[in-house]
Amino acid sequence: MGQASLDNLVFFGYQLSPPIMSGLMSGLRILLIVIVGWVILILIQKLIRTFRTHLIQNHLDDPEEAKRAETLGRVFRYIASVIIWLVVGIVILGELGIAIAPILGAAGVVGLAIGFGAQSLVKDYFTGIFLLLENQLRQGDVVEAGGKSGIVEEVTLRYVQMRDYEGNVHYVPNGGITTVTNMTRGYAQAVIDVGIAYREDVDQALRVMRDVGTELRADPAFASKILEDIEIAGVNEWGDSAVILRCRFKVAPIEQWGVRREYLRRLKYAFDAADIEIPFPHLTVYAGQLKDGSSPPFAHLSKNTDIQRNT
């Protein structure tokens, strides 16, 4: 449109001057840029959701992979939003006639200064990216990280949110995570140590442990939780007052604690039925003696040689 056309442009009965017309056209272009950016963002987020749904449907038998797809989808949508609106902002500045190069140069200097002042924050984000890409933990996992342990409720680029057994919520910055211990990846082992008295028959105790483990796996309530038959490791240690026997179950993720508690409950009844002693500390009470070296009579000593009680 030529200058003469701009001079003679009439809008709703009013003749618009070239500066006003130029500003109006610039505003329309900015609006168009925002709309295009918004549409692109919607399309990208829809594409990410479709890809996430596709991954979940292809791994219906693997709930852990589905959790990972959900976590990555949320993070990628966040990254896409930041990048697209940043590009939209730069294009709008160019449309307004603001030189972008000096701004980018100044932003680089400011970013460098902020980077030195917020190294921990930058470290959080970089560590968060690797935690997600390397699939070290996912929502729903039970992990120990950054000195805290619990079930993972949320994973972001800056922190990991965990809830422990008592219901306390811990926010662990990603930068403080050096080691991740994931207790629910693929499968778990319910390791159980049992103490018996030294006078008991070790082979008999091991047979009872195996029988109880077989019965537990045959129970319909635990059949899907226990993946393999009980593994009897045997004598693991000679303790101060007991022979320590060890066994373990290969179980589904997050089921090791429930299986361990139920096995110990059943094993207690089985040991009682087989008259196998489970040792516990004893205390002998000594009444003391007089200065002449003689011991005073102690009422209960006339009936029992010593007094024992569970400590």
CA distance 124 to 126: 6
270 close to 211: Cβ distance less than 8 angstroms: yes
pLDDT tens, residue by residue, 36-55: 888 988 888 888 888 777 76
CA distance 307 to 53: 69
Structure tokens at 272: 């009682």
Query: What's at 182, amino acid-wise?
Result: N
Tell me the domains of the chain and their CATH numbers. 3-98 (no CATH), 138-182 (2.30.30.60), 188-273 (3.30.70.100), 281-311 (no CATH)
Q: Is the pLDDT of residue 131 over 50?
A: yes
Mean pLDDT, rounded, for 107-121: 64
pLDDT reported for residue 252: 92
pLDDT tens, residue by residue, 196-253: 999 999 999 999 999 999 999 999 999 999 999 999 999 999 988 899 999 999 999 8
pLDDT reported for residue 303: 42
Nearest Cα neighbor of 215 from 257, 250, 263 is 263
pLDDT tens, residue by residue, 270-304: 999 999 999 887 777 766 666 676 666 555 544 44
Nearest Cα neighbor of 255 from 159, 188, 193, 155 is 188
Q: What is the pTM of this model?
A: 0.61
246 close to 233: Cβ distance less than 8 angstroms: yes
Task: Indicate the helix (H) or strand (E) that contains 98.
Answer: none
Share of the chain above pLDDT 90, in %: 36
In the chain, the N- to C-terminal Cα span, in Å, equals 98
Mean pLDDT, rounded, for 94-117: 66
Structure tokens at 289: 């003696």
Q: What are phi and psi of 147, to 5 degrees?
A: 80, 5
pLDDT reported for residue 16: 55
Q: DSSP states of 172-200 as a string?
A: EEGGG-S-EEESSSS-EEEEEEEEE-TTS
Mean pLDDT, rounded, for 22-35: 80
